[in-house]
Structure 1
Amino acid sequence: MKKLWTLCAALLGMVSVASAQTLSCCAKAPAANATEVFAMLATNEDFSGGHDAPLPFTYQGGGNMIQFKTADGQTGKAFEIKSSKPSDKYLFVIHEWWGLNDYIKQEAARFAQELPGVNVIALDLYDGQVATDADQAGKLMQGVKTERAQVIINGALGYAGPKAQIASIGWCFGGGWSIQTALLAGPKAKACVAYYGMPEKDVAKLKTLNTDVLFVFAKQDKWINQEVVNQFQKDMATAKKGLMVKTYDADHAFANPSNPKYSKAFAEDAHAASVAYLKKNLKLK
């Protein structure tokens, strides 16, 4: 959950509302789909400002970087921690705007420890690039192409195998892509956690979900705000899919320890709720 500040704010539209200076999360972006809207806040100073660069950190635990084929003729990258015993259960962890850095590897290791019997794969949607400052992170975020991200996720699904049971979790940028991962996983999807990420607005797509969703919401978030959550609840109800919203009186990225808005108590509570949800849906003892 480290450095989760970015794109979630981008949501559903980035258009003026009430004032030419106010970005909306609810207005529709005619030319961009749900994932492409993410990048639109990269140039917004209010959104990116105050996001300190990650402190130097080197992950020294277990796990390995892996590669797998993707349908576009390239390869995808990810960090994997395998279960100590053979298992078809997988948790896909999806990074925020900094990329697959050592903080995300550490987060993957935490889940691997707390979810015995689950293979944990932290996907790399930046194709090996990692940002160390906000300007670089914004450029990488803007550079993400929906088609490429989708083939990376599909490649990871292929790597997991035809019998895989897939859970996903992500924060902000990764929160939105966690929902997209569940959609791409089809019948393999068993669980989906999204921390203040951009919801899918296409009800027809939501109807194809094979899992419910745990959505972590920060009430003070001015981008992924109450209106956005209300719409997601409405859309999921229309799609006849389960949605649990875990609400905290906190600001965007409250689960990120390096963020000025970090709340340790809320972050730990949300993490515990996520682990409990994942254990239940993956039928772990």
Structure 2
Amino acid sequence: MKTIFITGLTLLTSFLTWLKPAEPETKTIPVCHGNDMSALAADPNFAMLHANPRSFTYRGAGDMVKFSTPDGQSANGFLLKAKKPSDKWLLVYQEWWGLNDNIKQEAEKYYNDLDNVNVLAVDMYDGKVATQREDAMKYMQAADRNRLQSIMKGAIAYAGPKAQFASVGWCFGGMLSLQSAMLAGKQAKGCVMYYGRPEQDVEKLKTLETDVLGIFGSKDKGITVESVKQFEENMAKAGEKVEIKLYDADHAFANPSNPGFDKVAAEDAYKRSLAYLKNRLKA
């Protein structure tokens, strides 16, 4: 009798378990632009954070320039030169799409709102620009870490040894903005990173000669709130200053060509970044 009861109870438990709705699958996306960028770029979950950008054609000022890089090659940039001679420079770093017309427009926006600052949007893909996420995945997978560093060093050298730098970038470029600030050493005066992968190595963060403004989205599944908090903690351990602003928004919320553009959050973030950059690039 006891055996029959246990068997019946087991069958009932199994039946109730079968009736219970399945828990939704939780997909973990690696931290945006993590240590292995190639593997991350191949992750379809990561790619889905990026809606294909709306078509946009830039019709403003500025010129494409070429500069030498330490690896014996050359690189490109989109330059908006200060109206009067100036040692103040803003380096602008692209999203994973490449140096497209949207980035040129963002560069011009900072150029118009800052006081006599040279603005250089750096081409990190050597001329390649994606309009579809599938192409952006390929370009980011192919981005060689050494080449990226060489391009940043070339841009810094192009501005000259007396240049004072601030940097800004979004997503892939947010990560590069922080790396660029470390490469610029004592020439670095400011760094703005929009939802890019934070450097978490405390020893590397100790090399920063500037504070950092970090702008993130609390709904971002690529750059989690936890990873941002870890960045804050590691900056404190490194003895560095960082200001973090979290918006109730998704990844790439500040890109006006993004169908998921959050106008209110983007405008506030821009005002915050502009005030920061004006303070760091004072005459």
Under TM normalisation by the shorter chain, which class is it? Answer: 0.7 to 0.9
Q: Which residues of 2 match residues 146-165 of structure 1 at below 5 A?
A: 146-165=145-164
- Structure 2 Cα separation of the partners of residues 223 and 167 of structure 1: 25
Q: Which residues of 2 match residues 190-201 of structure 1 at below 5 A?
A: 190-201=189-200
Tell me if structure 2 keeps the 8 A contact 1:35–1:177.
no
Structure 1 counterpart of 2:164, one-letter code: Q
Tell me if structure 2 keeps the 8 A contact 1:207–1:240.
yes
Residue 94 in structure 1 maps to residue 100 in structure 2: no
Aligned residue for 1:23, secondary structure, equals: coil
Aligned residue for 1:100, secondary structure, equals: coil
Tell me if structure 2 keeps the 8 A contact 1:201–1:232.
yes
Structure 1 stretch displaced more, 106-115 or 254-263: 254-263
Superposed structure 1 runs of 4+ greater than 4 Å apart: none
Structure 2 counterpart of 1:177, one-letter code: L
- Structure 1 Cα separation of the partners of residues 138 and 35 of structure 2: 13
CA positional deviation for 1:279: 0.4
Tell me if structure 2 keeps the 8 A contact 1:182–1:191.
yes
State the TM-score, normalizing by the size of structure 2: 0.87
- Structure 1 Cα separation of the partners of residues 50 and 114 of structure 2: 31
- Structure 2 Cα separation of the partners of residues 87 and 282 of structure 1: 11
Q: Which residues of 2 match residues 38-187 of structure 1 at below 5 A?
A: 38-49=37-48, 51-187=50-186
Tell me if structure 2 keeps the 8 A contact 1:36–1:145.
no
Structure 2 counterpart of 1:25, one-letter code: V
Tell me if structure 2 keeps the 8 A contact 1:38–1:198.
no
- How many residues in Structure 1 have an aligned counterpart in Structure 2? 259
Structure 1 stretch displaced more, 122-131 or 218-227: 218-227
Could you tell me which residue of structure 1 aligns to residue 28 of structure 2?
A: 22
CA positional deviation for 1:282: 1.1
Could you tell me which residue of structure 2 aligns to residue 214 of structure 1?
A: 213
Tell me if structure 2 keeps the 8 A contact 1:39–1:142.
yes
CA positional deviation for 1:20: 8.6
CA positional deviation for 1:261: 3.1
Instruction: For residues 197-252 of structure 1, give each alpha carbon's deviation from its aligned partner in whole angstroms, at most 9, with x where no partner exists.
Output: 10111111111101000000111112211110111011100111110001111111
State the TM-score, normalizing by the size of structure 1: 0.86
- Structure 1 Cα separation of the partners of residues 34 and 162 of structure 2: 27
Q: Which protein, 1 or 2, shows the higher relative CO under an 8 Å CA cutoff with sep ≥ 6?
A: 1
Larger-Rg structure: 2
Tell me if structure 2 keeps the 8 A contact 1:93–1:121.
yes
Tell me if structure 1 keeps the 8 A contact 2:42–2:141.
no
- Structure 1 Cα separation of the partners of residues 93 and 252 of structure 2: 15
Share of identical aligned residues, percent?
A: 53
Aligned residue for 2:141, secondary structure, equals: helix
Aligned residue for 1:215, secondary structure, equals: strand
Aligned residue for 2:36, secondary structure, equals: helix
